[in-house]
Amino acid sequence: MKKVLQLSLTKTLVFILTGLMLFCVVQSCKKDTEETECSTPIEPFNHQVSFNYEYDISGMNDTMRDNVLTADIVLFHSDDMAMTWNTLKAEFLRADNAFRTVGVQLNLKKAVNVTFPAEWNNQLAYNLLDLPDSAVNPAFYDMYNTTKPTLTDTIKIAFKDFTYDEENKARTIFVLPLKGVKIVFAQQNPDSTWKVSNPVATGALSFPTYILQNRIPRNYRGIITMEQSSAVTLAHELGHKLINVSHEGLNISPAFSGSSIPGLMGYGGSTTIYGGQSGRWHQERLLLSPFLYKMNSGTRTYNPDYSGNGSYNDAIYGSYVMAGNF
């Protein structure tokens, strides 16, 4: 009887102690549910990109001023590129000069030498989810509403890896050294039906929201790929990103190619950013870009974000849309 009683007491004690331990664990996780969540520790991200070293960028931001619209830029450079670091540096400085002319300064946060998997090169940037109906000819920017370009899986993997550890990704411009990034577009057949074009390789691609709209994750929408230089390549791609327009210029409607188009958004050597209705409101649209902020007494204030999906005629641009002429 004594042994039975001892055994019973032992079981009871074990049960009580176990209960107390569980209570303590639960309480430590839920000590204040508004402040603390009990969760499994997140393992560090397994990078396929190697961030080898940072370049010396001293002197490149010496003229930054408070209370001026600013875009944050991160440059990634690879030794596998034909373009040297000094060439990319010169591209940045020329772009900075072009945008300062119309009231926007570029803040180079850092420049990093990297290596990454070769299979990320020569990839298709995005797929088209749909095509226009036969004999239907959407306006230039409306074509993207119809075809719904959407990032490919490999491109998303690369974008995630390059920017994973970066802060404020959705409001920062990242320039990635991916080579041979390809695009496709809707192409009309002789019988007025539509097909997807063959892939076309690019030397630089801006992934602007007038193309991808809200089908690009917010954290990837500031990415540009660039493998070669024309002296104004970076400025041109920043124009796509920040002005959110295609190849178009003074009284010239948008086109797939930038040939013979004046100003920054053409294929020539000009970095002029036109304004007013004749300039298709490029200056005005630029100054509304959600990538831009002003710094005042240590406080950073961004422009409002896109009001809709980031398309060409997003409500953020108000009257600065060439309605019926795009």
Give the type of residue at 8.
S
Phi and psi at residue 250, in whole multiples of 5°?
Answer: -55, 110
Domain co-membership, 127 together with 23: no
Domain co-membership, 109 together with 213: yes
Give the pLDDT confidence score for residue 325 in this predicted structure: 58
| Sequence-ordered list of residues with C-beta below 8 angstroms from that of 247, at least 6 positions apart, any chain | 254, 255, 256, 257, 258, 261, 265, 266, 267
Domain co-membership, 125 together with 26: no
Domain co-membership, 286 together with 158: yes
- Checking DSSP bridges between strand 172-176 and strand 223-226, what pairing results, if any? parallel
Domain co-membership, 134 together with 221: yes
| Sequence-ordered list of residues with C-beta below 8 angstroms from that of 22, at least 6 positions apart, any chain | none
Domain co-membership, 211 together with 249: yes
Within the chain, which residues score under 70 in pLDDT?
A: 1-41, 324-326
Whether 272 maps to a domain, the answer reads yes
Give the pLDDT confidence score for residue 82 in this predicted structure: 87
Domain co-membership, 299 together with 264: yes
Domain co-membership, 117 together with 188: yes
In this predicted model, what pLDDT tens digit does every residue of 312-324 receive, in sequence order? 999 999 999 998 6
CA angle at residue 287 from 165 to 281, to 5 degrees? Answer: 130
In 3D, which of 259, 257, 288 has the Cα closest to residue 275?
288
Encode 29-55: b = buried (16+ Cβ within 10 Å), e = exposed: eeeeeeeeeeeeeeeeeeeebeeeeeb
Domain co-membership, 207 together with 103: yes
CB 83 within 8 A of CB 111: no
In 3D, which of 311, 316, 313, 264 has the Cα closest to residue 287?
316
In this predicted model, what pLDDT tens digit does every residue of 58-67 receive, in sequence order? 989 888 999 9
Whether 259 maps to a domain, the answer reads yes
Whether 212 maps to a domain, the answer reads yes
CATH of the domain at 169: 3.40.390
Whether 82 maps to a domain, the answer reads yes
User: Which tokens in the block code for residue 254?
Assistant: 């948008």
Domain co-membership, 81 together with 177: yes
Give the type of residue at 105.
Q
Secondary structure of residue 254 in the 3-state scheme: strand
Whether 162 maps to a domain, the answer reads yes
Q: How many domains does the chain have?
A: 2
In this predicted model, what pLDDT tens digit does every residue of 89-122 receive, in sequence order? 999 999 999 999 999 999 999 999 999 999 999 9
CB 109 within 8 A of CB 167: no
Whether 325 maps to a domain, the answer reads no
Whether 326 maps to a domain, the answer reads no
Give the pLDDT confidence score for residue 104 in this predicted structure: 98
Give the pLDDT confidence score for residue 177 in this predicted structure: 98
Residue 24's domain spans which residues? 1-39
Give the pLDDT confidence score for residue 61 in this predicted structure: 84
Whether 49 maps to a domain, the answer reads no
Domain co-membership, 16 together with 84: no
Give the pLDDT confidence score for residue 256 in this predicted structure: 85
| Sequence-ordered list of residues with C-beta below 8 angstroms from that of 166, at least 6 positions apart, any chain | 74, 172, 174
Domain co-membership, 274 together with 175: yes
